Amino acid sequence: MATKRKRSNVVKDADKWMSAYIRKSACVAGDTAVCFTCGKHGHWKYQMQAGHFQSRSKYSTRWAERNVRCQCSHCNITNGGQQYLFGLNLDVTFGEGTAQQLVQKGMELVKLTTDEIIDIAQAYRQKFEAL
């Protein structure tokens, strides 16, 4: 049965849990997380953000784990995401070609159902709570 929840709230929920999971899993000691693009340290909850390699407007990569990394606000906002560095570090971290794969995937048009997005939110919530 299809859900009656409002799609925009479901999207927000998936973003929220994914962001929490990505930032907390970037912690190196206690609550201190590391920025993926500059290495700066900060509290995962209060000082760090979830930065997207391919824009959040692209639903094919919006919740792809490798597309979203922990960033400081300077990299994510002031420097527009540091996309070039982001891509280089993706290849270093996950293997050559990772950035290119995400660029390719980002160009795919996908239409997720509200139920599918609810599943994504639940999956990230579980991953977050298991940290």
Instruction: Supply the DSSP string of 43-96, one letter for each residue.
Output: ETTTTEEEEESS-TT-TTTTT-GGGEEEEEHIIIIITTT-HHHHHHHHHHHH-T
- Contact yes or no for 17/124 (Cβ under 8 A): yes
Cβ at position 69, least distance to Zn ion in Å = 10
Cβ at position 41, least distance to Zn ion in Å = 10
**Contact status: 41 vs Zn ion (CB under 5 A):** no
**Contact status: 35 vs Zn ion (CB under 5 A):** yes
**Contact status: 38 vs Zn ion (CB under 5 A):** yes
**Contact status: 40 vs Zn ion (CB under 5 A):** yes
Q: What is the C-alpha separation between 73 and 59, in angstroms, rounded?
A: 23
Binds Zn ion by CB under 5 A, chosen from 14, 20, 48, 72: 72
From the centroid of its chain, how far is CA 22? 6
Binds Zn ion by CB under 5 A, chosen from 26, 75, 99, 117: 75
Q: Which segment (34-42, 92-100, 105-113, 118-126) binds Zn ion by CB under 5 A?
A: 34-42
Locate 16 and state its tokens. 């929220």
Cβ at position 66, least distance to Zn ion in Å = 18
Q: What is the C-alpha separation between 50 and 114, in angstroms, rounded?
A: 22
- What is the binding site for Zn ion (CB under 5 A)? 35, 38, 40, 72, 75
